[in-house]
A and B are shown apart, each in its own frame.
Chain A
Amino acid sequence: MPTAEPILVVENIVKRFETQDGVLVAVDDVSFTVAPGEFLSVIGPSGCGKSTLFNIIGGLMDGYEGRAAVGGETIRGPHASIGMIFQEESTFPWRTVIDNVAFPLEIAGLAKAERLDRARHFVELVGLSGFERRYPSELSGGMRQRVSMARTLASEPKILLMDEPFAALDEQTRLLLGDKVLQIQQELKQTTLLITHNLTEAVQLSDRILVMTYRPGKLKRMVEIKLPRPRSSEIVGSDDFGRYVAQIWNDLREEASRGLKDDEARMVRRGS
């Protein structure tokens, strides 16, 4: 468990949605903290409320019980200390790579020369040097996600909040981008909260993994990953890595099965 003063505190979060079938509890009494420089992943089956948690911490969703706070300040909307990377492709197609990355600096009112200079640093950081004048339509899916990452990092957030950023990519690209995330996180000492359903990704990147139950989304277990750092995707082949994956899968399997059965039951109800 982290010993430093936490930078992010999530306390007793409960989120309910009104649905046609009644009240749905998406997140139920979830609490955890994230220490500065820590990489924490939240993992759980589809429908466990991961994205709801992402939206609450990112300040994009209100109407919940409990409290989320960054640096001691309660989150009441999008917070300057939190940078978000979304699951969906979110680069601006009408802006070049460099202009995409410079976007938050433009909003902050920086002079053009200064913002382009700073943006260039983040483009280099995500390994896209030479592609500055390209448009997103000229890039691959993995490159576009790196542009999104550089854009968020350019705003220099205290916490990087990522919602399954590599979900749409193939496994090899995902592993290689994981290397890039590790490299950036180690270089910037960036506090990161990753929402994912991918076991390999979570174990490869994290210091701790928070396993959630299927609906209602509760904290099932917190797993500390004691794999050596600095890490790379080569660690995927190690015995320790395999043991962590197996251990977390044991927890997840039961939840994922519940989710599957629930989905099937819902389909039957709709069919009848």
Chain B
Amino acid sequence: MRSHRPPFWVRTVPVAFGALCLVAVLALVEVLVATGTINPFIVPRPSDVLLSFTRIIAEERVLPRFMLTCGEALVASVMLSVVGIAAGVLLHRHRIVRLATETWVAALASAPLVLMYPLFLVIFGRSVWTIIMIAFVSALPPVILKTLEGLTGTRAALINVGRSFRLTPSQLYWKILFPAALPTIFVGVRLGMIYALINIVGVEFLINFGGLGQLVNELAERYDLPGTYAAICFVILVSVLFFIGTERIERWLRPGT
């Protein structure tokens, strides 16, 4: 017997409603800009932004820039998932390490590490590794903290089931604690990826090293507002793709939710 899938309308209506809301907001902005309620020198017409897509794709080499930003985000995400989850597990297993470092990790989460980009430039040079490492370090705290929260928040009843079946500590981790903590861990990974992408685009913007961040910078300096907003849409597209990707991975790793 196959698992129950929600009916077609349950799956499509929310998506259609979300798309409709977006179209409605864009139409409202279009009207407000056209009537002069919103200054067109600050916010361009959504229709102009739409028309500028083909232009920036053809003239500004968007695809390689998009791929570069995606690649940097992917490497940073893999690194922060591996290191962040491992660090979270370490903090969970060793109380003394947790007591010694948890506050510092939390403090690191609010530190504006992007401002330390000159230091990273000195260490890694003007390369993609500067961008990836800043993104990685800035995005690490939420993954560590959410992994710790997920593991410590596992319901006692589930742990007791494992104990009653005489699981080894390793089996308890892999068969119960880790799957139980996965939804919270993935919240951390998604948060981390948002932090990482913000930092990637920000540093690309600052050090003029390719990618969508540099494109946004160039278009803004040319005062090409529709092009700038279209380039920002591509940054949002990267975020959406990563969000969908992590959602798929989470559903694959932890079905039934």
Interface residues of chain A, those whose CB is within 8 Å of chain B, are 58-60, 77-78, 80, 82-84, 86-90, 92-96, 103-104, 107, 130-138, 148, 151-152, 155
B156: chain A residues at CB < 8 Å are 88
The answer to whether A93 touches B256, judged by C-beta atoms less than 8 angstroms apart, is yes
Question: B54 at the A/B interface (Cβ < 8 Å)?
Answer: no
Indicate whether A93 sits within 8 Å of B257 (C-beta atoms), given known contacts A88-B155, A107-B167. Answer: yes
Q: Which residue of B lies closest to A88 (CB)?
A: B157
Question: B160 at the A/B interface (Cβ < 8 Å)?
Answer: yes
- Total chain B interface residues with beta-carbon distance under 8 A: 25
A92 to B175, CA, bound (A): 10
Scan residues 141-191 of chain B and give those whose CB is less than 8 A from a CB of chain A: 155-158, 160-161, 163-167, 171, 175-176, 179-180, 182
Beyond the given A90-B158, A103-B175, please list 12 additional residue pairs across the A-B interface where CB-CB is below 8 A: A58-B164, A77-B166, A83-B164, A90-B157, A92-B180, A94-B182, A94-B257, A107-B166, A134-B1, A137-B256, A138-B3, A152-B164
Q: Among B2, B166, B255, point to the contact of A94 (Cβ < 8 A).
A: B255
A89: chain B residues at CB < 8 Å are 157
The answer to whether A137 touches B161, judged by C-beta atoms less than 8 angstroms apart, is no
The answer to whether A132 touches B1, judged by C-beta atoms less than 8 angstroms apart, is yes
Q: Which residue of A lies closest to B155 (CB)?
A: A88
A58: chain B residues at CB < 8 Å are 164
Q: List 21 A-B contacts (CB under 8 A).
A: A59-B164, A60-B160, A77-B166, A78-B163, A78-B165, A82-B164, A83-B164, A89-B157, A90-B157, A90-B158, A90-B160, A92-B176, A94-B179, A94-B254, A95-B256, A107-B175, A133-B2, A135-B3, A136-B256, A137-B256, A152-B164
Question: B94 at the A/B interface (Cβ < 8 Å)?
Answer: no
Nearest 6 CB-CB pairings of A with B: A135-B256, A88-B157, A84-B164, A90-B157, A94-B254, A133-B1
The answer to whether A104 touches B165, judged by C-beta atoms less than 8 angstroms apart, is yes
| Chain A contact residues: helix, strand, loop or mixed | loop
A152 to B164, CA, bound (A): 9
Question: B11 at the A/B interface (Cβ < 8 Å)?
Answer: no
A241 to B236, CA, bound (A): 68
Q: Which residue of A lies closest to B176 (CB)?
A: A92
* Whole-angstrom distance between the Cβ of B129 and the nearest chain A Cβ: 37
The answer to whether B160 touches A84, judged by C-beta atoms less than 8 angstroms apart, is yes
Q: Among B157, B166, B175, B257, point to the contact of A78 (Cβ < 8 A).
A: B166
Q: Which residue of A lies closest to B4 (CB)?
A: A138
A151: chain B residues at CB < 8 Å are 161
The answer to whether B3 touches A134, judged by C-beta atoms less than 8 angstroms apart, is yes
Q: Mark B103-136, 1 if CB is under 8 A from A, else 0.
A: 0000000000000000000000000000000000
B158: chain A residues at CB < 8 Å are 90, 92
A95 to B254, CA, bound (A): 8
